[in-house]
Structure 1
Amino acid sequence: MKPFVGIWQDLKARAPYYLDDYVKGFHPKVLAAAIFMFFTSIAPAITFAATLDIGTKGQMGAVEIILSQTICGVIFAIFAGQPLVIVGVTGPVSIFTLTAYELAKLFDINFLNWYAWIGLWAALMHVILAAVNACELVRIVTRFSCEVFGCLIAVIYIWNAVALLVDMFGKDGTAAALLSILLAIGTHWLATLMSGARLWTMFKKPIRTIISDYAAATSIVVFTVVQYIPPLDEIKIALLEVPLTFEPTLKVGGVVRSWLVPFWDCPIPHVFSAIVPALILTILFYFDHNVSSILAQKAEYCLKKPAAYNLDFLWIGIMIAICAILGIPPTNGLIPQAPLHTESLRVMRVKDNGEEEVEYVVEQRVSGLLQSVFIGCTLIPPILRTLGRIPIGVLCGLFLFMGVSSFSGNEFFERFTLFFVDKNLRERACSADWIKTVPFSTVVKFTMVQLVFLVVIFVVTRTPAAICFPVAIALLVPTRSHILPKFLGEEAVNALDDNAVPDDPVPIVADVEKGKEIGTEKAIENGSGNTNGNEIADRQATGEKEMAVVGTTSSVAAGNPQ
């Protein structure tokens, strides 16, 4: 494939949907999804900011992270190909930034100038990878890798929540720590309870849907208020620390630094030494962003609009360059926020057996755009002060909710739980086809390989070698494609795992003159699942105008891994 062809194809594929991406923004689920994403993004952002502020000795903090997520979130929501992906500063980026700071200090390099060059080199590498259509290779990524990475992020969230709560015993005293733990448990419990409201027998369906959509936001408000109930109000607990003004965190001689980093003042040897960490950052983003994109577009979501991996990666590179010049941390697709965003936009229906299934997803750009604007609004002092009233314990509860929610639907985690199930009840506990065809000893070995990777990568992130952990993540792909089939058998491995990237959706052809989308949908069966042939009728029953389509589903560019 010629250079830039992948980007051009992504543009052509997404262009017919651009107006519809905003029209769909009037759906009632959009505002709820935006508010949910705001809380799930701002809480980790400010927590990571506190870590960066301490770890970089005040060279980066909350203002830099909030500004980064606002600028990049708005850009990505408007211009990217797949707006369901939520971008932000991730835990791995925080680890990378802290390690880069330690290296700069070790070699007596100006951190912000060097960090800017790391970003500029990485931006160039991203643009090159997008130009040569390198993101097409994500089609060989299987669920094996995505499941491990998804569990890694979930474990990091849970670990951070527990670590913050444990630290409170030394910093705030026993009473404050115990109250924070109660607030965390309460927040997690209420969010979990309300998020399952769609299956309640109480209330009418619209009310149950609203309760479920606003589960996280409601739990945060409720348990923030709990701290003011007597006699709990007498206990001084740790609150979210927020900046008081909109200005760079770093001050030199009492003077705030300029927003423009003087990267041109960096010595030439230091400029070229930034290439190595830039390469590591590129490896991280190539895997991290594309996996978040894959998870946000899983086959079970039944999305109708096409992916745009090369176009999205191009914009990630452009945003990295902007962040580098401003001296703020770069952003990429967030896990678990990206898949949680898609899930929050699902319209579900309850089958006759009481189980839920996806009817359709409200695919649009407005919720991602709104949540980015909401994050930017937190830089307004009155809103900042309001956020500053949220207890850390409540945020820990939100972290627990996000982490635990990420395990749902993760087959690696579900296979691991089978280790503790009575062997006579395994087929009842698991509905997957492989439970009947693959020996359980093979299932155990396959799952243990994933578990070892998970533990090793997590341990690496807690050591001085943390900057190299993206390399360990990248090793997941060749391990799955070349090593596991030799030791466990290709047939068994393929039964336990398949491509993570779903088949391209059926294309839509627009009748420009009439302003309508015309055609018919052909329900077909393919390797990733069945197209729902009744979906047009189902959508018409709910009052939503169904897009008519022409054509057939395209096959995945790459076949099953060998």
Structure 2
Amino acid sequence: MAASPAPGREDAIMAVEQGHVARPGSQSSSSNSTDQDGSFAQSRTRTSAASGRAPAWWKVRLFRGMLKDVRRRAPFYWSDWTDAWDYRVVPATVYMYFANILPALAFSLDMFTKTDMSYGVNEVLLASVLGSIVFAVLAAQPLVIVGVTGPITVFNYTVYDIITPTGTNFFAFMCWVCLWSLVMHCALAFTNACNGLRYVTRFSCDIFGFYVAFIYIQKGIQVLTHQGYDEAFYLSIMVSLLVLGFAYGCGIVGESTMFQHYIRVFVKDYGTPLTIVFFTGFVRIGRMDGVQLQTLPTSKAFFPTADRGWLIHFWDISISDVFLAIPFAILLTILFYFDHNVSSLIAQGSEFPLRKPAGFHWDLFLLGLTTGVSGLLGIPAPNGLIPQAPFHTASLCVTKIVPASEDNDSKDHPTAVIDHVVEQRVSNLAQGLLTLGTMTGPLLIALHLIPRGVLAGLFLVMGVQALEANGITLKILFLLRDRALTLASDPLRRVSKRALYAFVSLQLLGFSATFAITQTIAAVGFPVFIFALVPLRTWAMPRWFTSEELGLMDGPTASEFTMVSVGGNFGEGDGEGDGSGVMASAENTAVSSDEELAERGQRVGAVAARDFGDRGRLGEGERVQHHGVVGEEMEMRRLSGAARRRSTASRQGAVRWT
């Protein structure tokens, strides 16, 4: 007798649609699931037939993705504001304000020197404000932090180096680049081009994250090398290393078992901002006060750095230059399509138990609008930030301490697990408004006091933290570790060393090619190298590795719940596993068409809005089980403040919330 197929991703989606919520200890839920096996099997059969009748690629249903993104997310809009009544929003706002503004200021220093003072502090601050407010209020993915990134910095000063020698007005030319890019972003959003994100796996995301981390470290070192060779140079090096050590140490203490729980939470939430403030004043102590350290250059409040107005005269340019901007706009669009969407994927990664649907098509449309407005204002175009975007989600995670006596695999000591994420819009909006306030005169004076060595230290901190959590780094550490001392449950132990060395070598080769081209005048073309990683993984690597090896070494970046907006994850149900060390069932091979998944995703959003809304929240022991989601069971809990207090009181302090 043939075994019945394991519940797949369509079963999970249909279960949510029909209201079949599995609750532990519920007999009715169990029998209900059993009764539905026949209907699920019929659904898979219908799905296979539907997949066979998928429309031809040239038959594009315009605006379909955008409309469904809005319909899925709209029921949650009010709760996006009311759910912000949570303590986690406060440290997340403070942390993201510093984590966004300080690297942006350092990038402004980089562009200030390399574009002959065309871009400065106010331009970068205004770009961050524009991205934060628009995406916090209107986006379908408000957790994504938007601002000025390292890649767009490289793009801007490379275009400056190419265009300025020809005598072309740089701001007018960049305005046309952004306007053309606006048209291209809209075309991609209208034609549902974000469906291609289903082919973006952790292979590509890890390479890009590795590249961004090295850009941060490189910029930190560059800031130090520009300090000269006198005592200011050595003091700047010392301060930057102290900032690195203290800020990184705060992260270690926050994740450790040292001190009381509330002390660890405070150190983790506010350690980095307080480190910046402390060392800004530290260099004024004693004999160090006599050293002339370079600080951040600023300008008048709310005025551009250059002698111009905020509106760019984009008509003061020749027709030939208008069309010359098109190739640059194509490169900018490729960069933003990949950079922003990868930021969104990582910020909504499978490690975060999110309960509100995503919307990639709508957000790409918004990104096009902010790009066009940036060109008209003469400011750098903002887009999704790495690593700030995932850091933002991580800072909003509510964790609980599971005692050793409870559902704990280790059995010998308590562990901290993520219970849920505070999904809301206030923290992103608040840090944007704080950034706007930073453009006022008094705060610009305060920014002018920050030594460049402190900014260099912050660059190093963010680069090291991003490298530490990167998949490439983790695989390299696994290869260097004594195999006899690795956990037997580690999925990478099931992969041959030859395959693992080859996989990591390909990732390092992709990173090296991208990083190398950014060091040349051809840096404007580096988005092509980044985008080429996707077809390499999708079509070439399956010829070099077995599906089992790829399933263990790679996997989807986000869960299927998040990827409903773009038609699901690539490889799920195709024998390539889920990247978690568990191969997909061979019997679960039916894959819905993109359109059918999008339709079902819309219904899932509506049902989730009803079930997970403000009216009724599940208790501590109740959960919705989604099977087949990135190889693990995703628990979506909703605890109101009252329910949380009752649960905590009943456990008499056994579970502590952060």
TM-score higher than 0.5:
yes
1:463 to 504, 507, 520: 520
1:21 to 80, 84, 87: 80
Structure 1 residue 32, shift from structure 2 partner: 1.3
Q: Are 2:338 and 1:239 equivalent residues in the alignment?
A: no
Is there any run of 5+ residues in structure 2 with no aligned partner, and where?
A: 1-59, 405-412, 563-603, 648-658
Deviations 1:505-546 (A, max 9, x none): 66444559x96257885313214043355845899863499x
2:340 to 289, 298, 316: 289
CA contact (8 A) 1:510 1:516 kept: no
2:184 to 105, 125, 137: 125
Which secondary structure does the structure 1 equivalent of 2:561 belong to? coil
Number of the residue aligned with 1:488:
545
Q: Are 2:558 and 1:501 equivalent residues in the alignment?
A: yes
2:615 to 505, 516, 529: 516
Number of the residue aligned with 1:552:
none
Which secondary structure does the structure 2 equivalent of 1:28 belong to? coil
Distance 2:465 2:642 in 1: 31
Number of the residue aligned with 2:644:
542
Number of the residue aligned with 2:131:
72
Structure 1 residue 142, shift from structure 2 partner: 0.4
Amino acid at match of 1:72: G
Number of the residue aligned with 2:388:
337
Distance 1:362 1:308 in 2: 18
Worse-superposed segment, 408-417 or 241-250? 241-250
Matches within 5 A, 1:355-434: 355-425=415-485, 427-428=486-487, 432-433=490-491
Amino acid at match of 2:330: L
Residue 518 and residue 393 in structure 1: after superposition, are their counterparts in 2 closer, same or farther (change >3 A)? closer
Structure 1 residue 491, shift from structure 2 partner: 2.6
Distance 2:553 2:156 in 1: 36
Amino acid at match of 2:364: F
Structure 1 residue 474, shift from structure 2 partner: 0.6
TM-score (norm 2): 0.77
1:526 to 628, 632, 644: 628
Distance 2:219 2:314 in 1: 33
Larger radius of gyration: 2
Which secondary structure does the structure 2 equivalent of 1:403 belong to? helix
**Number of residue pairs aligned between Structure 1 and Structure 2:** 533
1:110 to 161, 166, 169: 169
2:321 to 260, 270, 275: 270
Structure 1 residue 467, shift from structure 2 partner: 0.2
Number of the residue aligned with 1:548:
none
Q: Are 2:384 and 1:327 equivalent residues in the alignment?
A: no
CA contact (8 A) 1:138 1:501 kept: no
Residue 199 and residue 110 in structure 1: after superposition, are their counterparts in 2 closer, same or farther (change >3 A)? closer
Which secondary structure does the structure 1 equivalent of 2:556 belong to? coil
2:266 to 210, 230, 237: 210
Q: Are 2:227 and 1:180 equivalent residues in the alignment?
A: no
Which secondary structure does the structure 1 equivalent of 2:462 belong to? helix
Q: Are 2:496 and 1:439 equivalent residues in the alignment?
A: yes
> CA RMSD for the aligned pairs?
2.3
Residue 354 and residue 156 in structure 1: after superposition, are their counterparts in 2 closer, same or farther (change >3 A)? farther
Number of the residue aligned with 1:557:
none
Which secondary structure does the structure 2 equivalent of 1:523 belong to? strand
CA contact (8 A) 1:510 1:518 kept: no
Amino acid at match of 2:384: G
Structure 1 residue 393, shift from structure 2 partner: 1.6
Distance 2:628 2:555 in 1: 13
Number of the residue aligned with 2:67:
8
Deviations 1:378-437 (A, max 9, x none): 111111111111122222221111111112332211111233223433x33x8531x232
Amino acid at match of 2:490: A
Number of the residue aligned with 2:249:
193
Residue 2 and residue 206 in structure 1: after superposition, are their counterparts in 2 closer, same or farther (change >3 A)? same
Structure 1 residue 61, shift from structure 2 partner: 1.9
Number of the residue aligned with 1:549:
none
Matches within 5 A, 1:293-304: 293-304=344-355
Residue 448 and residue 202 in structure 1: after superposition, are their counterparts in 2 closer, same or farther (change >3 A)? closer
Residue 421 and residue 518 in structure 1: after superposition, are their counterparts in 2 closer, same or farther (change >3 A)? closer
Residue 457 and residue 533 in structure 1: after superposition, are their counterparts in 2 closer, same or farther (change >3 A)? closer
Distance 1:262 1:544 in 2: 61
Number of the residue aligned with 1:279:
330
Q: Are 2:283 and 1:227 equivalent residues in the alignment?
A: yes
Amino acid at match of 1:324: G
Distance 1:510 1:406 in 2: 34
Structure 1 residue 200, shift from structure 2 partner: 4.4
Distance 2:356 2:100 in 1: 25
TM-score (norm 1): 0.90
Which secondary structure does the structure 1 equivalent of 2:476 belong to? helix
Worse-superposed segment, 279-288 or 156-165? 156-165
Distance 2:498 2:646 in 1: 48
Q: Are 2:363 and 1:312 equivalent residues in the alignment?
A: yes
Percent pairwise identity: 35
Structure 1 residue 39, shift from structure 2 partner: 1.2
Worse-superposed segment, 116-125 or 407-416? 407-416
Amino acid at match of 2:472: F
Structure 1 residue 205, shift from structure 2 partner: 2.4
Which secondary structure does the structure 2 equivalent of 1:214 belong to? helix
Distance 1:82 1:524 in 2: 21
Which secondary structure does the structure 2 equivalent of 1:96 belong to? helix
Residue 167 and residue 518 in structure 1: after superposition, are their counterparts in 2 closer, same or farther (change >3 A)? closer
